[in-house]
A and B are shown apart, each in its own frame.
Chain A
Amino acid sequence: MNYFVVLTLTGLAAGMIYAALALSLVIIWRATRVVNFAQGALAMTTTYIALAVIQATENYWIGFFAALLAGLVLGAVAERFLVRWVETGPPLNAVILTLGLLLMLEAVVPMIWGAQIRSFPAPVSIAAMEFGDLSIALSPFNLFTIGAVLLVVLGLFFLFRGTALGLTMRASAFAPEISRLLGVRVGRLLALGWGLAALTGALAGMLVAPTLLLYPNNMDAILVYGFTAAVLGGLDSAVGAVIGGVVLGLALSYIGGYGGGDLESIGALVILIAILMLRPQGLFVSGTERRV
């Protein structure tokens, strides 16, 4: 099979995971103007919760939805009880706080579940598909990944664009004080925004673990990719985050495929630096509308 097509398909599947993480970063950035460095650690934590539930119930799907729910709750709790205290202070305070949360989660999780590397189940096969003699580099799990992320992305877009709740969430993000003057309960909507972001991250965590395995800092490198994708799309643009994720996934797949696997992480770094130097507002946010 054409090597280029293979790289494209696998890049697309990886890109959807970066897109999910990038989207979760963007939702939080838009809601509270915080770059959440704990996003990956939250996803790692919910994936451990998923594993515990799967082992207890012997049912993948119960664990899957338990992790999404855990993400929703953890994200909301993190905003309500931690981030809220520093939201009005200097931006650096919030950054340090999310770094603290990252370290705390990566310390607490091994206390509960141990630090050893664990395998994580997939709902469908992670082996390449074969049709007769023809082997396609895409696995059923890759297809599941693309479908699941698409479903969550479309669900979020419908929520934000098509519902009254979404309107109040967007308003709270753009203009919290004005929104409160219009009777909007901004506080709980910001918590909900963090919850939805962590839910999206939880999905990414469960999509990463079957191939890259599960251990307390397994999401650290993935978060860098997610962050690169978010910056690529412009931190303010949800559509940009998704496209940024896919573009990054493809780019890294080509770089790794043609240049060697070692070049992948360097490639991500080069893209990140190039974007920050040439087009810091991102590819999908027009410069004039960007608010700092």
Chain B
Amino acid sequence: MTTLKVEDLRVSYGGVSALAGVSFTVPDRSIVAVLGPNGAGKSTLLRTIAGLVRPVSGTIDYGGRGLVGMAPEAIARSGISLVPEGGGVIRELTVEENLRLAHLWHHDAADERKAMSEVMDLFPALASRRRNPAHSLSGGERQMLAVGRTLMSRARLLLMDEPSLGLAPRLVSLIMRTVRELCDARGLGVLLVEQNARSALSIADEALLLSSGKAVASRRASELARDEELWHAYLGY
């Protein structure tokens, strides 16, 4: 079991508090959705876990190892993959190069080929565009490439920042369904940040509601989906 445990995490940017003591866990084989309005600290949370932002205090523990103070590349190599908003594909590289890059540090050519064919099977749309530069991809294809990269990296924990942003509803449900399937089939843990609360809750096990850097609620996703008062108060609908 590799569980992510975040305890009393505090982050501030130039004296302004972005996260004011957030605690939660993400076990294997489960999806935890992080919901909340703009500026609630959702992206900051992911970037802090990935090592891009250094917290003021608090601990982040993954499989018995403290992540605070580790370099982003070391955190990635411990099995955590952040998919930034928009997918974070490298525009100038081809689809195949983007995918290879995520696997290179394993130094295992046989497994690289295996992972590559898994990704191509999962997203046939990418297979036909292997040699195209990533900037020629549509928004949906970029998200597929981003998810594909996490498979290539053999990550055990995905940190996803707004994968539904700017996508057509059909593509949103494809991405969400794929994430759920990966979580079940491979036992991945997923921390899913979303503005689109309904689609996130449709696949999540647990949900964390953030507001102004504080966790204001933490429930089973199915319960939160029914709590109309909370919806009105924090999500505005």
Binding site for B on A (CB under 8 A): 164, 167-168, 170-171, 174-175, 177-186, 289
Per-residue CB contact flags for chain B residues 136-157 toward chain A (1 = under 8 Å, else 0) read 0000000000000100010000
B25-69 residues at the A interface, CB under 8 angstroms: 50, 52
Per-residue CB contact flags for chain B residues 78-99 toward chain A (1 = under 8 Å, else 0) read 0001101000111111000100
Contact A186 B90 (CB under 8 A): no
**Which 6 A-B pairs give the minimum distances between C-beta atoms?**
A183-B76, A180-B72, A183-B105, A175-B90, A182-B102, A180-B73
**Interface SS of chain B: helix, strand, loop or mixed?**
mixed
Contact A182 B52 (CB under 8 A): no
How far does the alpha carbon of A180 sit from the alpha carbon of B52 in the complex, in Å? 9
Contact B149 A182 (CB under 8 A): yes
Contact A184 B90 (CB under 8 A): no
Contact A178 B73 (CB under 8 A): no
28 pairs of residues in contact across A and B, judged by CB atoms under 8 Å: A164-B104, A167-B97, A167-B100, A167-B101, A168-B104, A170-B93, A171-B93, A174-B93, A175-B88, A177-B52, A177-B72, A178-B89, A180-B71, A180-B73, A181-B50, A181-B52, A181-B72, A181-B76, A181-B81, A181-B82, A181-B88, A182-B102, A182-B153, A183-B102, A183-B153, A184-B101, A184-B104, A185-B73
CB distance from B153 to the nearest CB of A (A): 6
- B5 within 8 Å of A (CB atoms): no
How far does the alpha carbon of A180 sit from the alpha carbon of B81 in the complex, in Å? 10
- Output the nearest chain A residue to B83 by Cβ-Cβ distance: A181
- B77 within 8 Å of A (CB atoms): yes
Contact B93 A184 (CB under 8 A): no
Contact A178 B102 (CB under 8 A): no
How far does the alpha carbon of A49 sit from the alpha carbon of B29 in the complex, in Å? 60
The interface residues of chain A lying within 8 Å CB-to-CB of B89 are: 178
Known: A164-B104, A170-B93, A181-B73. 13 other contacts (CB 8 A): A164-B100, A168-B101, A177-B52, A178-B88, A181-B52, A181-B82, A181-B84, A182-B81, A183-B76, A183-B77, A183-B104, A184-B73, A184-B104
- Output the nearest chain B residue to A175 by Cβ-Cβ distance: B90
Binding site for A on B (CB under 8 A): 50, 52, 71-73, 76-77, 81-82, 84, 88-93, 97, 100-102, 104-105, 149, 153
The interface residues of chain A lying within 8 Å CB-to-CB of B52 are: 177, 180-181
The interface residues of chain B lying within 8 Å CB-to-CB of A174 are: 90-93
How far does the alpha carbon of A170 sit from the alpha carbon of B134 in the complex, in Å? 14
How far does the alpha carbon of A47 sit from the alpha carbon of B93 in the complex, in Å? 36
The interface residues of chain B lying within 8 Å CB-to-CB of A182 are: 76, 81, 101-102, 149, 153
The interface residues of chain A lying within 8 Å CB-to-CB of B72 are: 177, 180-181
CB distance from B122 to the nearest CB of A (A): 18
- Output the nearest chain B residue to A170 by Cβ-Cβ distance: B93
The interface residues of chain B lying within 8 Å CB-to-CB of A179 are: 90, 101
How far does the alpha carbon of A131 sit from the alpha carbon of B71 in the complex, in Å? 63
Given contacts A167-B104, A174-B93, contact A183 B73 (CB under 8 A): yes
CB distance from B118 to the nearest CB of A (A): 17
Contact B92 A180 (CB under 8 A): no
CB distance from B49 to the nearest CB of A (A): 11
CB distance from A1 to the nearest CB of B (A): 46
- Output the nearest chain A residue to B102 by Cβ-Cβ distance: A182
Contact of B90 among A164, A178, A289 (CB under 8 A): A178
The interface residues of chain A lying within 8 Å CB-to-CB of B50 are: 181
The interface residues of chain A lying within 8 Å CB-to-CB of B97 are: 167, 171
CB distance from A186 to the nearest CB of B (A): 7
How far does the alpha carbon of A185 sit from the alpha carbon of B71 in the complex, in Å? 9
- Output the nearest chain B residue to A184 by Cβ-Cβ distance: B73
The interface residues of chain B lying within 8 Å CB-to-CB of A168 are: 101, 104
How far does the alpha carbon of A175 sit from the alpha carbon of B101 in the complex, in Å? 12
How far does the alpha carbon of A184 sit from the alpha carbon of B153 in the complex, in Å? 11
Given contacts A167-B97, A171-B93, A174-B93, contact A184 B88 (CB under 8 A): no
Contact B104 A180 (CB under 8 A): no
CB distance from A3 to the nearest CB of B (A): 44
CB distance from A159 to the nearest CB of B (A): 15
The interface residues of chain B lying within 8 Å CB-to-CB of A167 are: 93, 97, 100-101, 104
Given contacts A178-B84, A181-B84, A183-B102, contact A171 B71 (CB under 8 A): no
The interface residues of chain B lying within 8 Å CB-to-CB of A185 are: 73
The interface residues of chain A lying within 8 Å CB-to-CB of B81 are: 181-182
How far does the alpha carbon of A181 sit from the alpha carbon of B82 in the complex, in Å? 7
How far does the alpha carbon of A179 sit from the alpha carbon of B72 in the complex, in Å? 9
CB distance from B201 to the nearest CB of A (A): 26
Contact B100 A186 (CB under 8 A): no
